[in-house]
């Protein structure tokens, strides 16, 4: 026998093997319009169901749910000969709906290369930042091959689950630098497209 919720919201008719809490109510069983039901652990009310309108995002909170997605792409070639970190141009901003949410940051840099230079110790360093703070190193010396020649390495990426603990607009970006001053490193070679995707995950 399935679980039934009466008009007052009280669960009745619970039996071993019944459906999960709140899946079925008396109106559902009778084929009538839903007038009392408990969905998503009670976060969606009857008025939401009966209003024939979009349910606001705040009603869709819950552990593991993707609440929103933001993405940015960047395809301009980037070159650096400096050992000081500089913005790559890849950046995205998200405003979490809940302070308890996690932000899954997925970065994919394409067209990565170490160009020829005077040092055989050169390589490409890339970091992920929240605001002005580095939260993850994507690479420290990518492309290193103990030579002064070119080395095209393709792509670099990271998936990082962050806990910003805020409902304010939060910006994520990447920065890069060369390991040896004067030796060139490149991103988005031949204008390949890099991307950063932010997903708010309910906690």
Q: Residue 163 has what pLDDT?
A: 97
For residues 83 and 51, give the distance between their C-alpha atoms in angstroms, rounded to a whole number: 58
CB under 8 Å to 45, separation ≥6 — which residues?
59
Q: Which residues are bridge partners to 187 per DSSP? A: 78
pTM beyond 0.75: the answer is no
Pairwise CA distance, residues 125 & 86, whole Å: 11
Encode burial over 146-182: b for 16+ CB neighbours within 10 A, e otherwise.
eebeebebeebbbeeebebeeeeebebbbbbbbbbee
How do the domains of the chain map onto residue ranges? 1-59, 66-201
> What length is written for the chain?
203
CATH 2.60.120.760 for domain 66-201, yes or no, is yes
Q: In what order do the strands lie in the sheet with 170-178?
A: 86-94, 170-178, 124-130, 133-142
pLDDT (tens digit, 0 to 9) for every residue of the chain, 203 residues total?
Answer: 444 445 555 445 544 455 444 445 454 455 555 444 444 444 555 555 555 555 555 555 567 799 999 999 999 999 999 999 999 999 999 999 999 999 999 999 999 999 877 778 899 999 999 999 999 999 999 988 888 888 999 999 999 999 999 999 999 999 999 999 999 999 999 999 999 999 999 98
Distance CA 95, CA 116 (A): 42
Residue 41: the pLDDT is: 46
Contact 163, 59 (CB under 8 A): no
3-state helix vs strand vs coil in the chain, percent to 5: 10, 45, 50
Question: What pLDDT does 169 receive?
Answer: 98
């Amino acid at each position: 026998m399935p679980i039934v919720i009466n008009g007052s919201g009280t669960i009745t008719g619970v039996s071993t093997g019944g459906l999960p809490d709140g899946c079925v109510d008396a109106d559902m069983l009778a084929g009538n319009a839903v007038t009392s039901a408990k969905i998503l652990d009670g976060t969606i009310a009857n008025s939401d169901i009966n209003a024939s309108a979009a349910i606001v995002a705040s009603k869709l909170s819950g552990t593991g749910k993707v609440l929103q997605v933001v993405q940015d792409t960047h395809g301009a070639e980037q070159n650096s000969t400096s050992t000081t970190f500089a913005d790559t141009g890849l950046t995205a901003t998200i405003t979490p709906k809940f302070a308890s949410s996690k932000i899954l940051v997925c970065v994919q840099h394409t067209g990565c290369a170490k160009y020829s230079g005077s040092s055989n110790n050169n390589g490409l360093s890339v970091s992920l930042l929240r605001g002005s703070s580095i939260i993850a190193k994507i690479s420290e010396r990518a492309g290193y091959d103990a030579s002064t020649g070119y080395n095209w390495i393709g792509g670099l990426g990271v998936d990082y689950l962050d806990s910003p603990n805020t409902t304010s607009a939060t910006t994520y970006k990447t920065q890069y630098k060369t390991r040896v001053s004067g030796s060139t490193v490149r991103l988005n070679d031949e204008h390949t497209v890099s991307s950063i995707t932010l997903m708010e995950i309910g906690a």
